[in-house]
């Protein structure tokens, strides 16, 4: 026993120093936290239950395994599965009469009651994703990380690679990070890829399509600086730029087309058309994060992001987590998040008859509108003496949007066009080492 302690001592110190160094590297890597525990695999798992009021419900499970395969060299693999059911706004506005829509397949219809947000009730999906990452030292002060990811839904395939370099300078108090990622995605939407601005025909007629599948490419680059401010404070500043090209439209979203008379009534024939977005998008962001530990050992984690793109969207995000540590390994962590977004230039809640022939692009997707998201949550965690951790969190997310007054004409002035949303999130997490799992299994079978 004593021998074991003696052997573990220097290794633990070295591992702690590795953690201190790697803390500066988390900026470019999406997986982050590639800290395996000694010779064992580190196993992190989480289950998320997410439910929107009268809309989407989701269960998402994650299993992440990490290992230090050589001195300061780490690998990580993450498996994600999520199951999603429920309803999602289809883009049409509420009306004072019931509205009937054609399902994406064109084989059936669904009807929404008067004065309710039209929802697509065929929203079901199963997503499986796998990502792997390898993080290795390239010299005494330079680290490299490469990774790959693939995810599959029944109508969407995403494949990607990422790479980053992290150069320590200033006695390893400053780390400069350069990251790059490339994603190639393929849409295979139900019923084919609708031609933008063509009508949603009444079933059983089929929509005009531009093939059965389509692609998009997303490239991102990130430059970051992480700085140790003092013994208790760490800061990070990132600038990132991304470019999407290809099919950036949502094949399931439509727009309501109104009569030209200002009445707010849907036009008599073919009142719904498929949305159409630009096939290029360049977006940028500036991101700042600070982590500070107070003398009472509580930790503040605060971040701010300013995001803008060439679609006219700008957003501000503030995220605050404050961890209160208690005796015996317990902690509580409140979480507040505030997100404010401006609308895309081509965001429209309605069009008027014939307007689709004069516009290049239009979308009624609420995610391109002007809105505010607020999140309030609380996490409880317990750290076992052997290093394992179990945690739970509950959060409430509210999303409130602003209607475009120019689109809310006539009878629509009495309707709420933006589909405000309320969602609840529950999450449980468990982290432990592989040797703990083996011990538990052995203990179980001994019984």
Partner 1 sequence: MIKTTLFSLCTALVLSACSLEPVQPWDRDILAQQKMQLVADPLEIYLDEHTYFSKEASSGGQSVGGGGCGCN
Nearer to partner 1, 95 or 373 (CB): 373
Using the rule CB under 8 A, give the single segment among 1-9, 182-190, 411-419, 436-444 that binds partner 1.
182-190
Nearer to partner 1, 350 or 431 (CB): 431
- Closest approach, Cβ 204 to partner 1, in A, equals 26
Which position among 129, 132, 165, 388 is part of the footprint of partner 1 (CB under 8 A)? 129
Triad 13, 15, 20: Cα angle to 5°: 95
403 interacts with partner 1 by CB under 8 A: no
Query: What is the CB neighbour count within 10 angstroms for residue 224?
Result: 23
Q: Do 325 and 298 form a contact (C-beta atoms < 8 A)? A: yes
138 interacts with partner 1 by CB under 8 A: no
Among positions 87-116, residues that touch partner 1 (CB under 8 A) are: none
Among positions 5-24, residues that touch partner 1 (CB under 8 A) are: 16-17, 19-20, 23
Indicate the SS3 state at residue 8: helix
Q: Give the Cα separation of 155 and 159 in Å (integer).
A: 14
- List CB contacts of 89: < 8 A, sequence separation 6 or more: 55, 117, 118, 119, 120, 366, 419
Using the rule CB under 8 A, give the single segment among 114-122, 150-158, 272-280, 354-362 that binds partner 1.
150-158
Q: Closest Cα to residue 353, out of 266, 275, 441, 280? A: 266
- Closest approach, Cβ 140 to partner 1, in A, equals 13
For the CA atoms of the chain, what is the radius of gyration? Answer: 25
380 interacts with partner 1 by CB under 8 A: no
Using the rule CB under 8 A, give the single segment among 105-113, 323-331, 402-410, 436-444 that binds partner 1.
323-331
351 interacts with partner 1 by CB under 8 A: no
Which position among 134, 180, 346, 424 is part of the footprint of partner 1 (CB under 8 A)? 180
- Closest approach, Cβ 404 to partner 1, in A, equals 16
Q: How many residues bind partner 1 (CB under 8 A)?
A: 113
Among positions 203-232, residues that touch partner 1 (CB under 8 A) are: 216, 218, 220-222, 225-232
- Closest approach, Cβ 266 to partner 1, in A, equals 27
Which phi-psi region, left, alpha or beta, contains residue 181 (left: φ > 0; alpha: ψ -120 to 50)? beta
63: its two tokens:
């299993």
Alpha helices, H only, 2-82: 2-22
Among positions 153-172, residues that touch partner 1 (CB under 8 A) are: 153, 155-156, 158, 160-162, 164, 170-172
Nearer to partner 1, 199 or 362 (CB): 362
β-pairing, 280-293 with 272-274? unpaired
- List CB contacts of 224: < 8 A, sequence separation 6 or more: 27, 28, 175, 176, 177, 178, 179, 236, 237, 238, 239
Which position among 69, 286, 378, 441 is part of the footprint of partner 1 (CB under 8 A)? 286
For the four alpha carbons of 85, 91, 92 and 94, in that order, the dihedral sign comes to positive
306 interacts with partner 1 by CB under 8 A: yes
The DSSP result for 337-375, as a single string, is EEEEEPPPTTB-SEEETTGGGT-S-BB--GGGS-EEEEE
β-pairing, 174-187 with 119-137? unpaired
- Closest approach, Cβ 99 to partner 1, in A, equals 24
Nearer to partner 1, 127 or 404 (CB): 127
- Closest approach, Cβ 60 to partner 1, in A, equals 7
- List CB contacts of 412: < 8 A, sequence separation 6 or more: 93, 94, 258, 264, 350
40 interacts with partner 1 by CB under 8 A: no
Nearer to partner 1, 140 or 443 (CB): 140
- Closest approach, Cβ 183 to partner 1, in A, equals 5
Q: Which residues of 171-207 are buried (b: 16+ CB within 10 A; e: fewer)?
A: eeeebbbebebebebebbbebbbbebbbbbeebeeeb
Triad 310, 315, 316: Cα angle to 5°: 145
308 interacts with partner 1 by CB under 8 A: yes
Nearer to partner 1, 60 or 403 (CB): 60
Q: Give the Cα separation of 44 and 411 in Å (integer).
A: 53
Nearer to partner 1, 95 or 285 (CB): 285
Which position among 74, 187, 197, 272 is part of the footprint of partner 1 (CB under 8 A)? 187
Among positions 236-265, residues that touch partner 1 (CB under 8 A) are: 236-240, 242, 250
Which position among 90, 285, 349, 415 is part of the footprint of partner 1 (CB under 8 A)? 285
């Amino acid at each position: 026993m004593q021998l074991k302690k003696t052997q573990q001592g220097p290794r633990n110190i070295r591992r702690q120093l590795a953690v201190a160094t790697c803390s500066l590297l988390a900026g470019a890597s999406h997986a982050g936290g590639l800290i395996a525990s000694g010779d064992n695999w580190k196993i992190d798992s989480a289950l998320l239950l997410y439910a929107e009021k009268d809309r989407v419900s989701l269960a998402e499970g994650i299993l992440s395994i990490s290992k230090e395969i050589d001195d300061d060299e780490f690998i990580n693999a993450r498996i994600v599965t999520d199951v999603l059911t429920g309803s999602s706004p289809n883009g049409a506005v509420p009306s004072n009469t019931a509205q009937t829509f054609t399902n994406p397949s064109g084989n059936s219809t669904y009807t929404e009651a008067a004065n309710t947000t039209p929802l697509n009730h065929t929203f079901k999906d199963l997503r499986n994703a796998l990502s792997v990452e390898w993080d290795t030292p390239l010299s005494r002060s330079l680290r490299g990380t490469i990774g790959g990811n693939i995810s599959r839904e029944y109508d969407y395939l995403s494949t990607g690679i990422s790479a980053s370099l992290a150069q320590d300078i200033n006695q390893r108090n400053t780390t400069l990070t350069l990251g790059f990622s490339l994603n190639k995605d393929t849409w295979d939407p139900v019923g084919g890829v609708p031609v933008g601005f063509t009508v949603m025909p009444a079933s059983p007629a089929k929509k005009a399509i531009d093939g059965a599948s389509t692609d998009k490419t997303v490239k991102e680059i990130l430059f970051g600086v992480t700085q140790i401010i003092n013994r208790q404070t760490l800061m990070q500043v990132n600038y990132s730029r991304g470019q999407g090209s290809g099919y950036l439209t949502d094949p399931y979203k439509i727009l309501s087309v109104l009569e030209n008379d200002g009445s707010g009534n849907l036009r008599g024939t073919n009142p719904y058309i498929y949305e159409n977005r630009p096939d290029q998008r360049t977006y940028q962001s500036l991101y700042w994060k600070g982590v500070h530990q107070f003398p009472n050992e509580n930790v503040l984690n605060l971040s701010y992001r300013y995001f803008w793109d060439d679609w006219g969207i700008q957003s501000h995000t503030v995220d605050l987590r404050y961890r209160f540590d208690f005796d015996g390994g317990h902690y509580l962590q409140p979480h507040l998040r505030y997100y404010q977004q401006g609308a895309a230039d081509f965001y429209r809640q309605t069009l008027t008859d014939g307007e689709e022939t004069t516009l290049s692009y239009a979308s009624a997707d609420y995610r391109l509108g002007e809105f505010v998201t607020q999140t309030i949550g609380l996490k409880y965690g317990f750290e076992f003496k052997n290093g394992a951790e179990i945690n739970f969190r509950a959060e409430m997310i509210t999303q409130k949007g602003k209607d475009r007054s120019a689109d809310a004409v006539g009878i629509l002035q009495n309707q709420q066009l933006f589909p405000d949303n309320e969602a609840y999130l529950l999450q449980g997490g468990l982290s432990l080492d592989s040797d703990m799992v083996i011990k538990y299994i052995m203990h179980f079978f001994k019984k």
